[in-house]
């Protein structure tokens, strides 16, 4: 029985390792998706910032057109000024010209502000584009690593499968069935655990003295009454 338990423990090690690799492999596609979404995020930021620049440029052109219109208007007024006869009319037109001038001056301030904001935003875009190309490189490397690791994992899994087949052929079929049942219940946790100083190492609960004594005999398979795992003596 002791020898069979030893084989079972070996088998369990293989199963645990295989499970670990399977979990990693399952995470591969999620990892790859995460990398892609990082890239998409930067892409979206760039697109957004570019739309800001487009709007600012449009705003700038509108201001420019307004200024031109006002200049033309004032040019006309200046011409009209020459033909005016009364002082009142003259003063009123002069005031209109001044008003248009000050309007233009405030539009020009806005244009400068516009240009500043375009500059700032374009700087952000340049930084983001830099970040993007770095990210593309990094992601390419990371994807290569992930795929390489996955490939290794799959190979290792194949080896483990072969070892497992070999080892499971050495185990008594009834014992193997029981192992599989416990394994199913443990859902990836340990199914075969040592007992030390009468304590089950699966659940840390004390075994009844009689069961503990029986373990020394090594003549049959024993289960922990608390966690139902297969138990064996740690020291023999």
Residues that bind Zn ion (CB under 5 A): 200, 202-203, 224, 226-227
Please identify, using beta-carbon distances, which residue of 114 and 200 lies nearer to Zn ion: 200
Specify the residue, 18 or 192, whose C-beta has the smaller distance to Zn ion.
192
Least gap, CB of 171 to Zn ion (angstroms)? 21
> What tokens appear for 142 in the block?
């990371």
Q: What are phi and psi of 145, to 5 degrees?
A: -60, -45
Which tokens hold the place of 104? Answer: 């233009």
Complex with Zn ion: residue 22 or 178, whichever CB lies closer:
178
196 in helix, strand or coil? strand
Q: How far is the CB of 222 from Zn ion (least distance, A)?
A: 11
**Cβ at position 223, least distance to Zn ion in Å:** 8
CA dist., res. 124 & res. 51, Å (int):
13
Q: Which is nearer to Zn ion, 135 or 182 (CB)?
A: 182
Rounded distance between C-alpha atoms, residue 135 and residue 129, angstroms:
10
Which CB, 182 or 224, lies closer to Zn ion? 224
Minimum distance from residue 189 beta carbon to Zn ion (Å): 11
Pick between residue 128 and residue 183 the one whose CB is nearest to Zn ion: 183
What minimum distance in Å lies between the beta carbon of 227 and Zn ion?
3
Give the nearest distance from C-beta 199 to Zn ion in angstroms: 9
- The DSSP element (H or E) to which 156 belongs, if any, is helix 87-168
CA 222 – CA 215 distance, rounded (Å): 7
Q: How far is the CB of 205 from Zn ion (least distance, A)?
A: 6
Q: What CA–CA distance (Å, rounded) separates 32 from 178?
A: 39
Tell the burial category of 179 from Cβ atoms under 10 Å away from its Cβ (0-12, 13-18, 19+).
buried
Residues 6+ apart with CB under 8 A from 157: 18, 21, 22, 25
Strands 222-223 and 230-233: antiparallel
Q: Which is nearer to Zn ion, 134 or 206 (CB)?
A: 206
Entry field: residues in the chain:
236
């Amino acid at each position: 029985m002791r020898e069979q338990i030893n084989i079972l423990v070996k088998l369990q090690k293989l199963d645990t390792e295989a499970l670990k690799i399977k979990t990693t492999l399952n995470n591969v596609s999620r990892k790859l998706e995460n990398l892609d979404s990082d890239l998409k995020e930067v892409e979206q930021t760039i697109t957004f910032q570019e739309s800001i620049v487009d709007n600012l440029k449009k705003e700038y052109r509108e201001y420019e057109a307004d200024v031109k219109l006002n200049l033309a208007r004032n040019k006309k007024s200046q011409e009209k000024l020459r033909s005016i006869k009364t002082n009142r009319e003259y003063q009123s037109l002069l005031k209109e010209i001044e008003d248009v001038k000050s309007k233009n001056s405030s539009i020009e301030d806005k244009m400068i502000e516009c240009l500043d904001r375009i500059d700032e935003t374009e700087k952000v875009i340049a930084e983001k584009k830099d970040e993007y190309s770095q990210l593309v490189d990094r992601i390419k490397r990371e994807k290569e690593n992930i795929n390489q690791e996955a490939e290794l994992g799959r190979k290792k899994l194949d080896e483990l499968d072969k070892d497992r087949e070999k080892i499971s052929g050495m185990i008594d079929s009834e014992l193997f069935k029981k192992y599989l049942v416990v394994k199913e219940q443990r859902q990836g946790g340990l199914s075969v655990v040592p007992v030390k100083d009468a304590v089950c190492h699966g659940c840390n609960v004390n075994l009844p003295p009689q069961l503990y004594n029986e373990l020394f005999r090594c003549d049959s398979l024993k289960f922990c009454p608390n966690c139902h795992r297969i138990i064996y003596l740690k020291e023999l």
